[in-house]
Chain A
Amino acid sequence: GIQVEQSPPDLILQEGANSTLRCNFSDSVNNLQWFHQNPWGQLINLFYIPSGTKQNGRLSATTVATERYSLLYISSSQTTDSGVYFCAVEPGIQGAQKLVFGQGTRLTINP
């Protein structure tokens, strides 16, 4: 099946820093989503981005489907950005509606 790899696995930054999280996938996809799981365990939809670039406040994401990767940018980090960031893809195989998740990037923002 499709493989989803996220890097780095852990990232520790000071408040105000910028960061780039990467998601590589091994095959074509119909869907790609980024999520933030906060320290209370809630899973928050950040972006639905099977291709192209989107921005939402301090966060933006770019997916280059032909090269099988996606990037999540966080600018001017705040302590509330801490948590685990997951990338998830829906394989391009017909009938495979399930999302396959990467192992996540654990982001810690220190004050």
Chain B
Amino acid sequence: NAGVMQNPRHLVRRRGQEARLRCSPMKGHSHVYWYRQLPEEGLKFMVYLQKENIIDESGMPKERFSAEFPKEGPSILRIQQVVRGDSAAYFCASSPLPGGYEQYFGPGTRLTVT
């Protein structure tokens, strides 16, 4: 059973460009979570999605960030008009059910904004 897949593993963008981060959950998991780790900091929750629904986006910055989890295909975290402060590691996790179940993490995407 393959684990959570994220791609790309490393992404370099110039200021003002768009960044698209992809996450494929574990087989059979329909709950996806995105977390961000700024340099030298812990991980912070961004958004929780089920297929075709955003359940909790309380950790998402209000502007430039969006997330989706379509019926088919991976979950996408999109950052428009990136700035240097967006440089971070972005981790995706999945679980089979919500509420108290183990979350399995992917290897992360390291975004560098130049």
Contact = CB atoms under 8 A, between A and B. Distances in A.
B16 interface: no
Interface stretch (B39-47, B65-73, B75-83): B39-47
A41 interface: yes
A102 B42 contact: yes
Chain B, interface size category, equals 20 to 34
Interface in B23-47: 31, 33, 35, 41-45
Contacts of B33: 97-99
A60 to B, nearest CB: 17
A48 B100 CA distance: 10
A31 B100 contact: yes
B42 A101 contact: yes
Contacts, number: 61
A33 B100 CA distance: 10
A30 B99 CA distance: 7
B91 A97 contact: no
Contacts of B93: 99
Given A41-B89, A41-B110, A104-B42, A97 B102 contact: no
Interface of A: 30-31, 33, 35, 41-43, 45, 48, 50, 86, 88, 90, 94-104
Contact of A100 (B31, B45, B107, B108): B45
Contact of B105 (A35, A50, A97, A103): A35
A99 B103 contact: yes
Contact of B99 (A86, A97, A104): A97
A31 to B, nearest CB: 5
A98 B56 contact: yes
A97 B102 CA distance: 10
Given A31-B102, A41-B89, A42-B107, A88 B43 contact: yes
Nearest to B43: A101
A75 B98 CA distance: 33
Contacts of B99: 30, 90, 94, 97
Contacts of B31: 97
B45 A98 contact: yes
Contact of A97 (B98, B107, B110): B98
